[in-house]
Chains A and B, each alone.
Chain A
Amino acid sequence: MTTLDADLRRAAAQAPNKEALVAGDRRMTFAELDVAANALAVRLHALGVARGDRVAVLLPNGAEAAVAIYGTLRAGAAFVPLNPTIKADKLAYVLADCASTAVVTDDALAPLAEQARGQAPSVREVLRADDGADAPTGPLPAPPISVDLAAIVYTSGSTGRPKGVTLTHANMTFAAGAIVTYLGMRAHDRVLCVIPLSFDYGLYQLLMCVRLGATLVLERGFAFPGRVLELLAREEITGLPGVPTIFQVLASAGAGGVAHDLPELRFLTNTAAALAPATIAALQAAFPAVRLYSMYGLTECKRVSYLPPEQLDARPDSVGIPIPGTEAWIEDDAGARRQPGAVGELVVRGAHVMQGYWNDPEATAQRLRPGRWPWERELLTGDLFRRDDEGYLYFVGRRDDILKSRGEKVAPKEVEVVLHQADGVRMAAVVGAPDRLLGTAIVAYVVPHDGAELTSTALRCHCAAHLEDYMVPARIELRDTLPTTPNGKVDRRALADEAAALTVKR
Chain B
Amino acid sequence: MGETEVGAGLRAELRAYVEEAFLYLHPDIELHDEDQFLELGVIDSLGFVELVEEVQTRYAIAVDALEITEENFGSLDALVAFVERRRPS
User: A residues within 8 Å of B by Cβ?
Assistant: 85, 194, 220-227, 229-230, 245, 249-250, 252-253, 256, 258, 406, 437-438, 457, 460-461, 464, 469, 472, 506
Are B69 and A226 interface neighbours, CB within 8 A?
Answer: yes
In the complex, A259 Cα to B73 Cα: how many Å?
24
Are B68 and A225 interface neighbours, CB within 8 A?
Answer: yes
In the complex, A256 Cα to B62 Cα: how many Å?
13
| Nearest-CB residue, chain A, relative to B21 | A506
Residues of A within 8 A of B69 (CB): 224, 226-227, 230
| Nearest-CB residue, chain A, relative to B72 | A226
In the complex, A256 Cα to B47 Cα: how many Å?
23
User: B residues within 8 Å of A by Cβ?
Assistant: 24-27, 38, 41, 43-50, 64-70, 72-74
Residues of B within 8 A of A85 (CB): 41, 44
| Nearest-CB residue, chain A, relative to B47 | A223
Q: Which of B25, B43, B50, B73 contacts A460 (CB 8 A)?
A: B25
Kindly count the residue-residue contacts between A and B in the assembled complex, taking CB atoms under 8 Å apart.
68
Are B73 and A224 interface neighbours, CB within 8 A?
Answer: yes
Are B48 and A464 interface neighbours, CB within 8 A?
Answer: no
Residues of A within 8 A of B24 (CB): 457, 460-461
In the complex, A406 Cα to B46 Cα: how many Å?
9
Residues of A within 8 A of B66 (CB): 225-226, 229-230, 253, 256, 258
Are A220 and B38 interface neighbours, CB within 8 A?
Answer: yes
In the complex, A384 Cα to B27 Cα: how many Å?
41
* Further 11 A-B residue pairs, CB within 8 A, beyond A223-B38, A224-B68: A221-B38, A227-B70, A229-B65, A249-B49, A249-B65, A253-B64, A256-B65, A406-B46, A460-B25, A461-B24, A506-B50
Per DSSP, chain B at the interface is helix
Are A224 and B49 interface neighbours, CB within 8 A?
Answer: no
B6 CB → nearest A CB, Å: 26
In the complex, A249 Cα to B66 Cα: how many Å?
10
In the complex, A497 Cα to B75 Cα: how many Å?
38
| Nearest-CB residue, chain B, relative to A220 | B38
Between A85, A194, A258, A469, the greatest number of chain B beta carbons within 10 A of the residue's beta carbon is seen for A469
Residues of A within 8 A of B45 (CB): 194, 221-223, 245
Could you write out 18 A-B pairs with CB less than 8 Å apart? A223-B47, A224-B68, A224-B69, A224-B70, A225-B68, A226-B66, A226-B69, A227-B68, A230-B69, A253-B65, A256-B66, A258-B65, A406-B46, A437-B46, A460-B24, A464-B25, A464-B26, A469-B44
